[in-house]
Amino acid sequence: MELEQRIDLITRNTEEIITPQELRTLLETKTKPKAYWGFECSGQ
């Protein structure tokens, strides 16, 4: 998968992510980056 496709997939439907440049650098340097997927039950 191309870099731009990976970025689009990762950032879709997200509220908070690292900066776009940090994400790009991470994807360029790590073949299998790990992420924290948090969920807040706010009642809204």
pLDDT along the chain (44 residues), means of 10: 93 85 94 81 71
Residue 40 tokens read as 């807040």
Residues 6 or more apart whose CB falls under 8 angstroms from that of 27 comprise 3, 6, 7, 10, 33
Alpha helices in 1-44 (DSSP H): 3-11, 20-29
pTM for the full predicted model: 0.67
Q: Which of 15, 18, 14 lies closest to 26, judged by CA?
A: 18
pLDDT in the model for residue 3: 95
Domain tally, the chain: 1
Secondary structure class of 15 (helix, strand, coil)? coil
Range of the structural domain that residue 39 is part of: 1-44
Spatial separation of the C-alpha atoms in residues 44 and 42, rounded to whole Å: 6
pLDDT in the model for residue 2: 94
